[in-house]
Amino acid sequence: MAQDDPVVSAQWLQQHLGQPDIKVLDASWYMPHESRDPWQEYQVAHIPGALFFDIDGIVDRATDLPHMLPSEEAFAAAVSALGINNHDKVIVYDGKGFFSAPRVWWAYMQKLMSFMRHASTKRMFRVLGHDKVWVLDGGFPQWQASGFSLGSSCLDDAVLKYRAANSAVESAYNGESTNAATFQTEFRPQLFWTLEKVKHNTAAKVHQVVDARAKGRFDGVMPEPREGVRSGHIPGTKCVPFPEMFDSAQMLLPADDLSNKFEQAGISLDHPIVVTCGSGVTACILALGLYRVGKHDVPVYDGSWTEWEAQPDSDYPKVASTSP
């Protein structure tokens, strides 16, 4: 477990599984057209002791956009309901290997409160945040391929915590009181971009914008998976499809290989970068890869193409197909 690396191996997790300060989260989520139910799959098989983190439940309830980052209060209430506190080491995985787990990694990086916030360097704040959350390299497929044991029954405690976490988010947005939080948060706005920040950047061009979607969707020649959304991209954006971040075994590439992927796409690692995708999930895979190469300050455009595409073309220009 390296302090400056965002992933841990299945072997490391197997050796440390069951320690009281190790908390494992199954953050599986699938695209709408895949017709897969991650909660149902979790109940059939999961890493022993893992709890389910509902990406579509622990969300901003004040928007119709899919799985947007919740408020600080709601996130703290949900994570506390899962029995996690700031001293715990959190390992996140998903059912594909590298897909939705980096989204939860990014959310923790956003929300994790530094106990050393009075320390003299900004770097200490980031390192402390990173020290507390990792993605399982290769995810659940790698755990299975390693021959490690599976949890094949869903304990009552896991069901109760899953429901309590979702209920805590709803209560927070309804202004209702929630149980005392065991997990404290401090918002880090430098890692979170809004629609207006992206709009400003299209003119200022300070940050390089990198899109994680498939090239066909980016170019406007393949349909988007969400009904009514045209394919295309934000002007000036470059495309690095998220599968380029890992190898055939769904393991995160070495730092040198990751650097080459971005440089080959015409992206300078010496200049600021912001990442985007369809709805803010796979952009976090690019952020994870960039973290491994030493860029720890990469923000994610949370609303991503789903939000941008829905805006008036006159104010939010697009390189897009003519129809959804």
The residues assigned a catalytic role are 277
Cα 288 from Cα 293, distance rounded (Å): 9
253 torsion bin: left (phi>0), alpha (psi -120 to 50), beta (else) = beta
DSSP, res 289: H
Beta bridge partner(s), residue 289? none
Give the neighbor-by-neighbor strand order of the sheet with 51-52: 7-8, 133-136, 89-93, 22-26, 51-52
Cα 259 from Cα 245, distance rounded (Å): 10
Query: Under a CB-based contact definition with an 8 Å cutoff, are residues 165 and 54 in contact?
Result: yes
CB hemisphere CA count around 224 (13 angstroms)? 24
Between strands 232-233 and 319-320, the pairing is antiparallel
Q: Which of 274, 289, 100, 311 is nearest to 192 (CA)?
A: 274
Query: Under a CB-based contact definition with an 8 Å cutoff, are residues 134 and 6 in contact?
Result: yes
Tally the residues of the chain: 324
Cα 149 from Cα 251, distance rounded (Å): 20
Query: Under a CB-based contact definition with an 8 Å cutoff, are residues 94 and 55 in contact?
Result: no
User: Which long-range contacts link 128-132 to residues 24+ away (Cβ below 8 Å)?
Assistant: 129/188, 130/3, 130/4, 130/6, 130/291, 130/296, 131/3, 131/89, 132/86, 132/88, 132/89, 132/90, 132/108
Give the count of beta carbons closer than 10 Å to the beta carbon of residue 129: 20
68-106 burial, b if ≥16 CB within 10 A, otherwise e? bbbbbbbbbbbbbbbebebebbbbbbbbbbbbbbbbbbb
